[in-house]
Amino acid sequence: MEFLVSISLDLNRVPEGQREALLAAEREAALRLGAEGVIVRMWRVRGEARTVGVWRAESDGDLDAALGRLPLRPWLEVTATALEEHYADPGR
C-alpha cells in the first residue's frame, strides 16, 4: 500500500539539549527508510516546517511501525492517507 504522509515539526517542543543529536539521528533514519523502500518520495513544503511524502507499507500497522522508527516521532504531527490507483494516473 502507498500512503500520502504529511509530517510537521515544531522544534520548540524538542528538548533543547537533545535537538542536534535528534535531528542528526532523524536524517539517518529517514535515509535508511528510503533505502529500504519505505519512503518512496519526499518533499519539503515551501515556507513551512513540514514535509509530505509517499510512503509504502503493507498495512496501517506497518506504517505506524515505520514512523515509530523516527527519533523525533514523539514531537511530530503526522497525517497519513491511504492511496489507491487512479485510472488517469500517467504513471500506471
Calculate the dihedral angle through the C-alpha atoms of 82, 49, 32, 73, rounding to the nearest 10 degrees: -70
pLDDT digits (tens, 9 = 90+) for 32-66: 999 999 999 999 999 999 999 999 999 999 999 99
Q: What is the mean pLDDT of residues 15-36?
A: 97
CATH of domain 2-83: 3.30.70.1060
Question: What pLDDT, on the 0 to 100 scale, is given for residue 10?
Answer: 93
Question: What pLDDT, on the 0 to 100 scale, is given for residue 92?
Answer: 79
Q: Please name which of 61, 44, 63, 46 lies closest in space to residue 3, comparing C-alpha atoms.
A: 63
Spans of all domains in the chain:
2-83
